[in-house]
Every structure is written in C-alpha cells, then in structure tokens.
Amino acid sequence: MSDIEKKLIKKSMNGDVASFETLINQYQKYAYNIAYRMMGNEEDAKDAAQDALIKVYRNLHTFKMDSTFSTWLYRIVMNTCKDALRKRKDQVVSLNQEIETNEGSIERQLSDKEADPLLIYEKMELKEEIGDAINQLKAQHKEVVVLKDLLGYSYDEISQIVDVPIGTVRSRLNRGREQLKDILKSNMGALRRQYV
C-alpha cells in the first residue's frame, strides 16, 4: 500500500471527505461494476455500490494497514451485494428455480438434450442473454464468475476478497461456469423455440 494511500486513509478517518473521495477514486468504477453484475440492474447496483462505499467510510478505523486496501474495499462491496440479494424477493420463474435448486435435475437434463450447442449462436446473440444468465446463478457461484471471468481478478485476489481458500474458489468457479453454460443453453433454446 502506498504512502499516499496511507495518508489519505488517515485523513479520511478524521472525517476529511475530500481525501476519502480521492482515496476511492480509482476503485469506484470497479465497485460499481461488481455491484452491477451481482445485482443485475443499474439502479440496484448504484444503491449497493454507494451503500458499500459509505460502509467503507464508516469502518475505516477497522482496516488494518497491512493488507491491501482494494481487496478490503471489494470485500465490503461483495458482502453488501449479497446482503441486498438476500433481502430482495426474487421473482424467479419456476423453470429456473428448478434448475437452481436441483443441480442436475431431470428438468435440466431434458432441456440439455433439446438445447442446441452454444456454438451455433452468434456471439452477439449470446451477449444479449449473458446478463440475464449471470443473474440466475446462485450468489456464491455468481461472485467468483463475476470477479474472475468478468473483471479479471486473480485466484489469489479472489481468495482474499471472498475469504475462502483458493481450492474452494476454483471449484466454485468451475461449477459456476458450467451452470452458466447450461442456463444460457436453455435460455437460448427457449428463445429460439419462441420464433419457430
């Protein structure tokens, strides 16, 4: 952590809002993007990101100067999002719920057999659906997929942010990617069938 950052943190702890804003300046955009991918829409993302940053401001005194400020900040953002997701009453379509709760359920396997492989779709088509698909992931899978595949953090950093061992990060990531693939396939398949 740089000297400048340490000084800014100290000043922010004393209530200097301008220093705090300078301190978080380089992290705000990533915080917002994490929130956007977790919450699924811009409005909730904005609220979650701002709430998280205010929590960071309030809890600066609990931050130990030895670890990295950014991973601490992103952890707060992640936890804020997960809390908000829990509070939110998800209006999930029953088909998707079955996919989520019954891993490898008959329902999904059936749709697997019917669904065309992802490869027949244009990347553009997939990109349109990717946001929804990510949204349907369970929180613990969503967070690692977002941090690794969307935002490009390393296994090490993710392990620190989410506070689980690297092995767990890997297995959650693999599971998350496969679930995402299956969700995408059934979504695209469903879309295609609409136009047939």
Which spans of this chain sit near another protein (rule: CB under 8 A)?
Answer: 2-5, 7-8, 11, 13-15, 17-22, 25-26, 28-30, 32-33, 36, 42, 46, 49-50, 53-54, 57-58, 117-119, 123-124, 126-127, 130, 145, 149-151, 170, 173-174, 177-178, 180-181, 184-185
Cβ atoms of 148 and 173 closer than 8 Å:
yes
In the bound state with another protein, the residue whose beta carbon lies nearer, of 94 and 195, is 195
Smallest gap from residue 133 Cβ to another protein (A): 9
- Picking from 82, 84, 60, 83, the residue whose alpha carbon sits closest to that of residue 72 is 60
Q: How far apart are CA 102 and CA 133, in angstroms?
A: 17
Q: How far apart are CA 27 and CA 22, in angstroms?
A: 10
In the bound state with another protein, the residue whose beta carbon lies nearer, of 3 and 66, is 3
Which residues, in sequence order, are CB contacts of 183 under 8 Å at separation 6+? 96, 99, 133, 136, 137
In the bound state with another protein, the residue whose beta carbon lies nearer, of 36 and 74, is 36
In the bound state with another protein, the residue whose beta carbon lies nearer, of 92 and 126, is 126
Q: Which two tokens stand for residue 49?
A: 């990101």
* CA-to-CA separations, 161 to 68, 110, 147, 187, in angstroms, rounded: 10, 37, 9, 31
In the bound state with another protein, the residue whose beta carbon lies nearer, of 162 and 188, is 188
Smallest gap from residue 181 Cβ to another protein (A): 5
Smallest gap from residue 110 Cβ to another protein (A): 17
Cβ atoms of 53 and 28 closer than 8 Å:
yes
Smallest gap from residue 193 Cβ to another protein (A): 19
Smallest gap from residue 32 Cβ to another protein (A): 5
